[in-house]
C-alpha cells in the first residue's frame, strides 16, 4: 500500500519542524475552505490565458517550462517538429498527417488523428542522439499492454497519455479544456476566481496538508493504475476522475512490486526502474513522511532551471542539511562526509541522495 494511504504515526508528526514557505502562509479558515470547495464545484475551466490577466509574471515563466510545451499542434507551432520527417527509416508519414507533437527534450513522438482520437506513429525521434527509433509497446512491459492490440493505429492515446498532458480530459467526449499542464490542472477550474478573485474561491496546493499537496504532482509523476479500471470497456493509465483537492488514493494505486525482484517498473530494492516514477520513490522517503512537498524544492511555475528548482540543488539540500544544522552530516566537514573534494561532482548531495 502506498505511503500516502497510510495514517502517519505520532513520531512522524513530531518530526522535523522545517521552516517552509507553505507553513508561513496563513491557513484557510473554515469559511474560506468551504468557499474554495464550493467554487470548485460550480466553476468552469477558462484556460491559462485568463490567469495571465492578473498573474502575468507567473504566466510568462510558466510558458517557458516543459509542462507548458509538451504537446503542440504543428499547424500553430511550425517549429515544433524537430527532425526532417522524410529521413525517418521506420515509418513514412508527412507533416499533414501529424495532428499533435509530444515532447522535445529527450524524445519526440507524433500523433495522427483518426475519428475523435489520436494514435501514435510507429517512429519517434531521439532528441539527444539525433536519430530515429521505432516506437512500439513490447510484450510484457507496461501493465496495460495486454488490453490493447499491438498495432499503434489501434491503440488510442486518450486512455494512456492524454489525461496527464491536458487539463480536464473528458473520457466520454475526448475533449480537453486545454492541452498541456495549464494553471487549472493544479489550481482547479478558475472562472469564479477570475470573476471575483479571493483566496477562498481557487485551489492552492500550498495551503493543503502535505499528502494532498503532493498528490497534485504525484497524479502524473508516478506509475500506477486507476482504482476503477476498466471504464467504458477501456483501461486507463492515469487517475481518471481525480482533480487537485480530492484524495488521490481514491482514484489511483501506485504500482506494487515484490522486494528482491527487478521488474519492468522497479529495481530489486524498490526504487524506480522506469521513467515517470518520481512519486513512487518519493512516498517511500523519510522526507515525504516528515511533510516535505515537491514544491518545497521545485516551482512548477518555472525558474529557468531545467528541473524547475528554486535554488541550485546543492544549496537546497544544505539549507536544511548543512554542517551546522541539526540535520547535517555527522562529520566536521563535507569532504569527510562525501570523501570527495568540495564542489566536485562526487561531493554533490544528489550524487548519492534524492528525496
Q: What is the dihedral of CA 149, 153, 157, 158, to 10 degrees?
A: -80
Half-sphere exposure of 54 (CA within 13 A, CB side): 10
pLDDT tens-digit series, residues 230-286: 999 999 999 999 999 999 999 999 999 889 999 999 999 999 999 999 999 999 999
CA–CA separation, 40 vs 166, rounded Å? 18
**pLDDT value at residue 166:** 98
Range of lowest pLDDT (16-30, 59-73, 185-199, 295-309): 16-30
Give yes or no for residue 34 having a pLDDT over 50: no
**What is the separation, in whole angstroms, between the first and last Cα of the chain?**
19
* All cell numbers assigned to 193: 476566481
**pLDDT value at residue 13:** 39
CA angle 247–266–213, rounded 5-degree value: 25
Indicate the length of the chain as a whole number.
Answer: 355
**pLDDT value at residue 54:** 98
pLDDT tens-digit series, residues 73-117: 999 999 999 999 999 999 889 999 999 999 999 999 999 999 999
Pick from 128, 130, 129, 133: nearest CA to 110: 133
CA–CA separation, 17 vs 74, rounded Å? 48
pTM: 0.85
pLDDT tens-digit series, residues 155-208: 999 999 999 999 999 999 999 999 999 999 999 999 999 999 999 999 999 999
User: Parallel, antiparallel, or unpaired for β 131-134 and 166-167?
Assistant: unpaired
- Count, in order, helices (H) and strands (E) of the chain: 13, 9
DSSP run (H or E) holding 110:
strand 107-114
**pLDDT value at residue 37:** 56
Give yes or no for residue 32 having a pLDDT over 80: no
Pick from 110, 72, 81, 80: nearest CA to 93: 110
Half-sphere exposure of 350 (CA within 13 A, CB side): 9
**pLDDT value at residue 206:** 94
DSSP state of 4: G
Give yes or no for residue 18 having a pLDDT over 50: no
Amino acid at each position: 500500500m502506498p505511503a500516502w494511504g497510510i495514517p502517519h504515526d505520532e513520531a512522524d508528526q513530531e518530526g522535523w519542524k522545517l521552516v517552509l514557505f507553505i507553513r508561513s502562509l496563513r491557513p484557510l479558515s473554515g469559511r474560506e475552505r468551504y468557499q474554495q470547495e464550493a467554487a470548485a464545484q460550480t466553476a468552469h475551466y477558462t484556460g491559462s490565458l485568463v490567469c495571465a490577466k492578473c498573474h502575468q509574471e507567473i504566466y510568462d515563466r510558466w510558458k517557458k517550462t516543459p509542462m507548458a510545451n509538451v504537446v503542440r499542434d504543428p499547424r500553430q507551432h511550425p517549429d515544433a517538429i524537430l527532425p526532417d520527417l522524410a529521413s525517418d527509416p521506420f515509418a513514412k508519414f508527412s507533416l499533414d498527417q501529424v495532428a499533435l507533437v509530444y515532447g522535445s527534450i529527450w524524445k519526440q513522438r507524433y500523433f495522427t488523428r483518426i475519428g475523435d482520437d489520436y494514435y501514435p506513429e510507429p517512429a519517434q525521434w531521439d532528441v539527444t542522439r539525433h536519430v530515429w527509433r521505432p516506437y512500439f509497446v513490447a510484450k510484457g512491459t507496461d501493465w496495460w499492454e495486454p488490453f490493447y492490440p499491438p498495432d499503434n493505429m489501434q491503440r488510442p492515446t486518450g486512455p494512456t497519455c492524454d489525461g496527464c498532458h491536458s487539463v480536464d480530459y473528458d473520457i466520454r467526449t475526448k475533449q480537453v479544456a486545454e492541452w498541456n499542464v495549464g494553471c487549472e490542472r493544479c489550481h482547479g477550474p478558475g472562472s469564479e476566481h477570475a470573476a471575483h478573485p479571493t483566496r477562498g474561491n481557487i485551489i492552492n496546493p500550498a495551503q493543503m496538508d502535505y499528502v494532498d499537496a503532493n498528490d497534485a504532482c504525484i497524479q502524473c509523476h508516478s506509475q500506477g493504475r486507476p482504482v476503477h479500471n476498466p471504464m467504458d470497456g477501456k483501461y486507463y493509465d492515469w487517475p481518471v476522475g481525480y482533480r487537485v483537492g480530492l484524495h488521490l488514493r481514491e482514484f489511483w494505486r501506485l504500482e506494487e512490486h515484490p522486494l528482491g525482484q527487478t521488474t519492468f517498473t522497479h529495481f530489486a530494492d524498490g526504487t524506480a526502474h522506469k521513467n515517470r516514477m518520481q512519486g513512487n520513490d518519493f512516498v517511500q522517503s523519510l522526507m515525504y513522511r516528515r511533510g516535505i512537498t515537491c514544491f518545497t524544492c521545485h516551482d512548477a511555475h518555472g525558474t529557468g532551471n531545467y528541473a524547475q528548482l528554486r535554488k541550485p540543488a546543492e544549496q537546497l539540500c544544505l539549507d536544511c542539511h548543512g554542517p551546522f544544522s541539526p540535520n547535517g552530516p555527522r562529520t566536521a566537514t563535507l569532504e569527510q562526509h562525501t570523501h570527495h573534494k568540495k564542489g566536485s561532482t562526487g561531493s554533490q548531495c544528489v550524487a548519492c541522495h534524492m528525496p
